[in-house]
Amino acid sequence: MSNSSVDDLVEAGSEYHAGFVTDVESETLPPGLDESVVRYISAQKKEPQWLTEWRLKAFAQWQEMREPKWAHVHYPPINFQDISYYSAPKSQTDGPRSLDEVDPELLRTYEKLGIPLHEQAALAGVVPDPAAIGTPAGANVAVDVVFDSVSIATTFKETLAEAGVIFCPISEAVHSHPELVQKYLGSVIPQRDNYYAALNSAVFSDGSFVYIPKGVRCPMELSTYFRINERNTGQFERTLIIADEGSHVSYLEGCTAPMRDENQLHAAVVELVALGDAQIKYSTVQNWYPGDENGKGGIYNFVTKRGLCAGPRAKISWTQVETGSAITWKYPSVVLRGDESVGEFYSVALTNNRQQADTGTKMIHMGKNTKSTIVSKGISAGGSENCYRGLVRISPTAHNARNFTQCDSLLIGDQCGAHTFPYIENKNNSATIEHEASTSKVSDDQLFACQQRGIETEQAVSMIVNGFCKEVFRELPMEFAVEAGKLLEVSLEGAVG
Amino acid sequence: MSLLNVSDLHASVVTDEGAQPILKGLTLEVKPGEVHAIMGPNGSGKSTLANVLSGRPGYTVDAGSATLDGQGLLELEPFERAQLGLFLAFQYPVEIPGVSNMEFLKASIDSLARARGNEQPNTATFMKQVRELAGSLDLDPAFLKRGVNEGFSGGEKKRNEIMQLLLLQPKLALLDETDSGLDIDALKVVAEGVNRYRRADNGVVLITHYQRLLDYIVPDFVHVLSNGKIIESGDKSLALELEAKGYAWLT
């Protein structure tokens, strides 16, 4: 009898559609990191003195720090001197220009990935191909594109400018809006916050800068697309989003990288600031190269993301779909300082083969009547390890704070692991904290129930997994939700051979 | 020509202590338009028969054959058997959280249509049809938006199985103790559903422990399964005799 039970299905590797390399001439720093490298990066970007010093201070702090070892992930020691800290396509060394002047080879790369760099195409709506899965395609999305260490293009700048929205590479904002950058850079995540944040603060290359003026509802979705291309380079982008009082913005982030045998480091920092009554919705579909089925290669994704609800009734919402990377170490957090502010975290993290993920969130309640919601869905397949780690802290000042946490794990096969590490620190007895957790398996019975109704095995698994993630997908912007579903399907290809 | 032909079937259940033979030479023929009831004491192999025919993991076929419409079943994947027209109404319908009933039914009907080279039904028409069916089985249409069997009562789960039977219109329906755990009203609804399904060109194999379902679904044949074999066959009167005397006089 030929049966496909769940156990039989957990085999072989999945296909990674974004794994090609772009052949462009690049200026890449030789591997190694010292003060001169930090100065070189700063000089390349013609940065003002204060920023150079800010970087150097971070570098000095980083040198005294140790890599965090508490995460439930295992990997050989990283030699930070083997990494190149700056790489830019040669044709772009003069900084971003208009879209017409972007190197055609680069444009082709993004075409292949399905990223709409032509505003025309974006308006008409772009049909995504498999490589584009996990990337924001479709109408009415303004895109900033970061290729290795530099931003190469930002679309819809004029449309946004009419609304007073600033959306540009952070390297540009340093010159065009120095007062905003200087005020907010490092205000949510200080340079010495943690090892990788300190490293990023010293060597960050580029990233996006967003400012939404008072009372403005951003007229379109904003999006940044990150791509690592060059071999042996790290990517250290830095994103800063400021929503002034009463403003609204929804921001999407997508990531891919070529398939390479060696591991590559990605240590980004994302800071969000929501002033009174402002709302920021930040969605990520992370599809960095996860390595092959034996765990060779793949991105080390060590990312610090934090938002500050600075004023009353501010709201910050993180939604993430994490399917890529060999190792993920990431805890998008919200500091709820304003009274009645709201923090949300919706996450799907899928690991397959040899991937390891240690991800979750921190909700720091400081203001009165603050409210946070955490919904985390971890899916483990193959021989992977998937771990939720979350902190809910209620400070003495946070009267009547509320938190609801729901943490579900789904196992596919019996070679993988799921772990949950919830931390709750409550210093105010008026708080309400709820925690729900569950672990389940895609059972042979569920699979058989679908198959008995004629549904083929792969579709059955993807349907069951999608059902498991439904509460999170509901939070994603429409076009992203569809992509996220497809991405799960592709990422599970190996698990349902 | 027979619809279902099971010949000298030997099958084992796979356990931690190794394979344990359950079916020991079972033969059964179902012609179009017929309803066969399979009765027998616990552990006689009734559910194993349904599971082996539909391809549930955890069993091995040791000898014998089974065909549906002349096509061999036992080498096929479970979904291929379903695509051929074999339907199993589950004894314990499983929950699939987050996958709505409607979504599940659409995936099912589309897969079957694709496999058979038919056009997939129009979504709006399909949804209307499903809602009507649900209503006819006393199921609140709101349940179609809920996850498959998620939080359903025992009776709702069984009626859901019957709704799927009526929707998918298979060639052969295997009903595995669909009557278990139902009160008399639910039993009547289920039986009425099965009677609506019956046609001259399809067949039903009704696995049941009790005679009472057969008051509502009148079988053409009744078989007694014991120790992995059919030891007695007859018409409806055999079921009444079993009800009166129990199984002991046969074994």
DSSP per-residue letters across A132-163: GTTS--SSSEEEEEEETTEEEEE--HHHHHHT
The count of domains in chain A is 1
Q: What is the pLDDT of residues A214-239, one digit of tens each?
A: 999 998 888 877 666 665 567 788 99
Sequence-distant (≥ 6) Cβ neighbours of residue A331 within 8 angstroms: A304, A305, A359, A360, A361, A362, A389, A390
pLDDT in the model for residue A253: 83
What length is written for chain A? 497
SS (H, E, C) chain B: CCCEEEEEEEEEEEECCEEEEEEEEEEEEECCCCEEEEECCCCCCHHHHHHHHHCCCCEEEEEEEEEECCEECCCCCHHHHHHHCEEEECCCCCCEEEEEHHHHHHHHHHHHHHHCCCCCCCHHHHHHHHHHHHHHCCCCHHHHHCEECCCCCHHHHHHHHHHHHHHHCCCEEEEECCCCCCCHHHHHHHHHHHHHHCCCCCEEEEECCCCHHHHCCCCCEEEEEECCEEEEEECHHHHHHHHHHCCCCCC
Phi and psi torsions of B59, nearest 5°:
-130, 150
Q: Are residues B14 and B80 in the same domain?
A: yes
Phi and psi torsions of A488, nearest 5°:
-60, -45
Rounded to a whole number of angstroms, the distance from the CA of A483 to the nearest CA of chain B is 18
Contact assignment for A456 to B111 by CB distance below 8 Å: yes
Q: Are residues B22 and B138 in the same domain?
A: no
More confident residue, A247 or A485: A247
**pTM of the full structure:** 0.79
pLDDT in the model for residue A89: 63
In a domain, A1, yes or no: no
Spatial contact of A467 and B98, defined as CB atoms under 8 Å apart: yes
Report the chain B residue with the minimal C-alpha distance to residue A408.
B97
Spatial contact of B251 and B225, defined as CB atoms under 8 Å apart: no
In a domain, B157, yes or no: no
> The tokens 């649900």 sit on which residue?
B134
Q: Are residues B32 and B140 in the same domain?
A: no
Residue A437, pLDDT > 50, answer yes
Query: How many CB atoms within 10 Å of residue A393?
Result: 19
Tell me how far apart the alpha carbons of residues A156 and A162 are, in angstroms, rounded to a whole number. Answer: 10
- For the segment A105-116, the average pLDDT, to the nearest whole number, is 60
Query: How many CB atoms within 10 Å of residue A478?
Result: 9
- For the segment A447-471, the average pLDDT, to the nearest whole number, is 91
Spatial contact of B213 and B187, defined as CB atoms under 8 Å apart: yes
End-to-end CA distance of chain A: 18
What length is written for chain B? 251
The alpha carbon of A275 is separated from its chain's Cα centroid by a whole number of angstroms, namely: 22
pLDDT in the model for residue A416: 86
Q: Are residues B86 and B177 in the same domain?
A: yes
Q: Are residues B192 and B126 in the same domain?
A: no
Nearest to A359 by CA among A410, A317, A320: A320
For chain A, what is the mean pLDDT?
81
The count of domains in chain B is 2
Burial code of B123-145, b = ≥16 C-beta within 10 A, e = fewer?
eeebbebbeebbeebebeeebbe
Sequence-distant (≥ 6) Cβ neighbours of residue B104 within 8 angstroms: A450, A453, A463, B96, B148
Contact assignment for B78 to A470 by CB distance below 8 Å: no
More confident residue, A16 or B41: B41
Amino acid identity, position A169: P
Q: Which helix (H) or strand (E) holds A127?
A: none
pLDDT in the model for residue A19: 63
Q: Which tokens is A423 given?
A: 């931390």
Q: What is the pLDDT of residues A483-497, one digit of tens each?
A: 777 777 777 766 654
Residue A481, pLDDT > 80, answer no
Angle at the Cα of A157 from the Cα atoms of A156 and A158, rounded to 5 degrees: 95
Q: Are residues B133 and B192 in the same domain?
A: no
In a domain, B165, yes or no: no
Within 8 A of B103 by CB-CB distance, chain A residues are 463
* Closest Cβ opposite residue B90 in set A2, A449, A451: A449
Phi and psi torsions of B231, nearest 5°:
-105, -10
> The tokens 């009425």 sit on which residue?
B192
Q: What is the 8-class DSSP label of residue A78?
A: P
Q: Which helix (H) or strand (E) holds A209?
A: strand A208-212
Q: Which of residues 44-83 of A touch B (CB under 8 A)?
A: none
Contact assignment for B104 to A451 by CB distance below 8 Å: no
Give Cα separations from A170 to A48, A165, A230, A445 (angstroms). Answer: 13, 14, 21, 52
pLDDT in the model for residue A2: 39
In a domain, A305, yes or no: yes
Within 8 A of B87 by CB-CB distance, chain A residues are 452
Q: What is the pLDDT of residues A25-84, one digit of tens each?
A: 667 778 888 999 999 999 988 999 999 999 999 999 999 998 888 888 888 888 888 888
Report the chain B residue with the minimal C-alpha distance to residue A445.
B94
Tell me how far apart the alpha carbons of residues A301 and A332 are, in angstroms, rounded to a whole number. Answer: 13
Report the chain A residue with the minimal C-alpha distance to residue B50.
A452
CB pairs under 8 A between A and B: 100
Q: What is the pLDDT of residues B45-64, one digit of tens each?
A: 999 999 999 999 999 999 99
Rounded to a whole number of angstroms, the distance from the CA of B86 to the nearest CA of chain A is 8
Report the chain A residue with the minimal C-alpha distance to residue B116.
A454
Tell me how far apart the alpha carbons of residues B229 and B240 are, in angstroms, rounded to a whole number. Answer: 20
Within 8 A of B106 by CB-CB distance, chain A residues are none
In a domain, B210, yes or no: yes
pLDDT in the model for residue B250: 72
pLDDT in the model for residue A21: 63
Nearest to A454 by CA among B129, B193, B66, B88: B88
Q: What is the pLDDT of residues A123-178, one digit of tens each?
A: 322 333 333 333 333 335 666 766 665 665 666 777 888 899 998 889 899 999 99
Contact assignment for B97 to A466 by CB distance below 8 Å: no
Secondary structure class of A341 (helix, strand, coil): coil
Contact assignment for A449 to B74 by CB distance below 8 Å: no
Within 8 A of B94 by CB-CB distance, chain A residues are 443, 445-446, 449
Q: Are residues B77 and B185 in the same domain?
A: yes
Strand locations in A51-140 (E): 87-89
Q: Which domain holds residue A261?
A: 6-496
Within 8 A of A1 by CB-CB distance, chain B residues are 52, 55, 59-61, 74-75
Contact assignment for A3 to B79 by CB distance below 8 Å: no
- For the segment A115-130, the average pLDDT, to the nearest whole number, is 38
Q: Are residues B138 and B196 in the same domain?
A: no
pLDDT in the model for residue A106: 60
Tell me how far apart the alpha carbons of residues A437 and A434 are, in angstroms, rounded to a whole number. Answer: 10
Q: Which of A25-34, A75-84, A96-105, A436-445 has the lowest mean pLDDT?
A: A96-105
Q: Are strands A87-89 and A26-28 parallel, antiparallel or unpaired?
A: antiparallel
Query: Which pLDDT band holds residue A255 (cuts at 50, 70, 90)?
Result: low
Q: Are residues B178 and B67 in the same domain?
A: yes
Report the chain B residue with the minimal C-alpha distance to residue A471.
B98
In a domain, B241, yes or no: yes
Spatial contact of A251 and A283, defined as CB atoms under 8 Å apart: yes
In a domain, B24, yes or no: yes
In a domain, B158, yes or no: no
Report the chain B residue with the minimal C-alpha distance to residue A472.
B98
Within 8 A of A450 by CB-CB distance, chain B residues are 79, 96, 104, 107-108
Tell me how far apart the alpha carbons of residues A251 and A281 are, in angstroms, rounded to a whole number. Answer: 6
Contact assignment for B90 to A444 by CB distance below 8 Å: no
Within 8 A of A3 by CB-CB distance, chain B residues are 55-58, 77-78
Whichever domain contains B83, its CATH number is: 3.40.50.300
Q: What is the pLDDT of residues A307-344, one digit of tens each?
A: 999 999 999 999 988 888 788 889 999 999 999 999 99
Q: Which domain holds residue B114?
A: 94-151
Tell me how far apart the alpha carbons of residues A362 and A306 are, in angstroms, rounded to a whole number. Answer: 9
Note whether A459 contacts B: Cβ–Cβ < 8 A.
Answer: yes
Q: Most B CBs within 10 Å: which of A450, A470, A471, A488, as the mutation test of the B interface?
A: A450
Tell me how far apart the alpha carbons of residues A129 and A137 are, in angstroms, rounded to a whole number. Answer: 10
The answer for B85, left when phi > 0, alpha when psi is -120 to 50, beta otherwise, is: left
Q: What is the pLDDT of residues B179-191, one digit of tens each?
A: 888 888 889 989 9
- For the segment B9-34, the average pLDDT, to the nearest whole number, is 94
In a domain, B107, yes or no: yes
In a domain, A357, yes or no: yes
More confident residue, A97 or B8: B8
Q: Are residues B21 and B87 in the same domain?
A: yes
pLDDT in the model for residue B36: 97
Residue A261, pLDDT > 70, answer no
Tell me how far apart the alpha carbons of residues A177 and A181 are, in angstroms, rounded to a whole number. Answer: 7
pLDDT in the model for residue A236: 87
Q: Which tokens is A240 given?
A: 């800063």
Query: Which pLDDT band holds residue A120 (cuts at 50, 70, 90)?
Result: very low
Contact assignment for B98 to A469 by CB distance below 8 Å: yes
Residue A210, pLDDT > 90, answer yes
pLDDT in the model for residue A259: 61
More confident residue, A290 or A452: A452
Q: Are residues B143 and B127 in the same domain?
A: yes
Residue A467, pLDDT > 80, answer yes
Within 8 A of A448 by CB-CB distance, chain B residues are 56-57, 78
Q: Any bridge partners for residue A422, and if so which?
A: A390
Boundary (domain end) residue, out of B151, B180, B199: B151
Q: What is the 8-class DSSP label of residue A301?
A: E
Boundary (domain end) residue, out of B102, B122, B151: B151
* Closest Cβ opposite residue A444 in set B57, B81, B147: B57
Q: Which tokens is B13 given?
A: 């259940």
Q: Most A CBs within 10 Å: which of B51, B52, B79, B103, as the mutation test of the A interface?
A: B79
Residue A454, pLDDT > 70, answer yes
In a domain, B133, yes or no: yes
Q: Are residues B226 and B236 in the same domain?
A: yes
Tell me how far apart the alpha carbons of residues A257 and A235 are, in angstroms, rounded to a whole number. Answer: 10
In a domain, A48, yes or no: yes
Q: What is the pLDDT of residues B203-229, one digit of tens each?
A: 999 999 888 889 999 999 999 999 999
